[in-house]
Amino acid sequence: MFKNVFGSGFLVRTAHVVLTWIITLILFLYDTELRKQEETGQVLQPVLFVLLVLVSVLLYFAVSLMDPGFILSEDSDLQFTLGVTEEQQDMIPASAKSLRRRRCAHCLLQQPMRSKHCQACQRCVRRYDHHCPWIENCVGERNHRWFLVYLAVQLLVLLWALHVTWTGFGPAPSWRPWLRSNGVLLAVGALLALLALVVLLLLGSHLYLVSINVTTWEFMSRHRISYLRHCGADDNPFDRGAARNLWGFFCEWGGVAWEQAYFREGSDPV
C-alpha cells in the first residue's frame, strides 16, 4: 500500500518536514502568542497547534507514500497499438454498446477508463489526476481524497501560524531596529502567506473539479482524450450533480467502473 520512504522523493519529503518543524520552533522561540501562553501555563492552544502540525506531517507522508491506484493486472487477449499515446487510443467502438480497454504504450498494461500512464512514476494510475512534485507521488483514485484532506489541514496550519507570527511583531522607534528584531518573523510570515495562498488556490481548484467530477488531467487535456473530445464543451459524462459528486468522492469507498458510468443504459454515449 505504501511506497519506500527512501525512494526518489526522499529529499523533497525531508525538506518539507524540516522546514515545517523549523517554522514551528521559530514561533515558539520568539515572543509570540504561543510562547506567552506556554510561559503562563496556558498550554491548551500550544499543544493543539503542535498536534495539528503533527497531523499535517503524518497526512503528508500518508499521501506521499500511499499507492495512488497503480494498475497491476492485465488482459493479454486485448489488442493494442504501439506508438499511440493512451490519450489518443480509441475506447469507443462503433456500436456504442460496450467499451474496449486500451493498452498503455509504455508498460503495456490494460487501462480502465480515466487511467493514465505517469511518466514520473513510470506506472499507470487509476482515475489519474496529476503527478504532484510537492509530495513526489501521483494523485489518483486511492489517495485523491486524502490529498484534499491534507490540503485542508495544511491550510488551517498555515493560517494559524500566520496569525501567531503576527502576534510576535514587537514595536521599535524606527524601521531599522524594528527590522533587526522582527526580520526573522517577517521572513517566516511572508513564506507562510505565500504557501497559504498556493494551498488555498490548489484546494479551491480541486474542490471545484471534484464537484463536477473531472480530474486535472481531463480538464487540461480534454481536447486530446478519446472519450471526451467528442463531447461538447459543457458536457461531462461522469457528472451526477455537485452534491452526488462530492458525496461519491469523499464518502463512497472502493473503485468505480467508469465504463459503466460513461453510458446510460440502452443509449448512445453521453
Q: How many CB atoms lie within 10 A of CB 47?
A: 12
- Quick one: which of 163, 165, 196, 199 has its CA closest to 182? 165
- Spatial neighbors of 27 by CB under 8 A, at least 6 apart, are 34, 35, 161, 164, 165, 168, 188
In the residue annotation, 251 being an active-site residue is answered as no
Q: Measure the CA–CA gap between 82 and 104, rounded to whole angstroms.
A: 8
Catalytic residue among 132, 138, 231, 251: 132
**Alpha carbon distance 149, 153 (integer Å):** 6
Quote the CA–CA distance of 13 and 119 in Å, as a whole number: 20
Global pTM reads 0.84
Residue spans per domain, the chain: 1-69+142-264
Q: Write out the chain's pLDDT in tens, 270 residues.
A: 555 555 567 889 999 999 999 999 999 999 999 999 999 999 999 999 999 999 999 999 999 999 999 988 654 444 444 444 555 555 544 444 455 667 887 788 888 889 999 998 889 999 999 999 999 999 999 999 999 999 999 999 999 999 999 999 988 888 888 898 899 999 999 999 999 999 999 999 999 999 999 999 999 998 888 888 888 777 888 999 999 999 999 998 887 888 877 775 433 443
Question: Which set of grid coordinates corresponds to residue 93?
Answer: 467502438
Whole-number pLDDT of residue 266: 34
**53 Cβ neighbours under 8 A, 6+ residues apart:** 20, 21, 24, 157
Supply the pLDDT for residue 101.
67
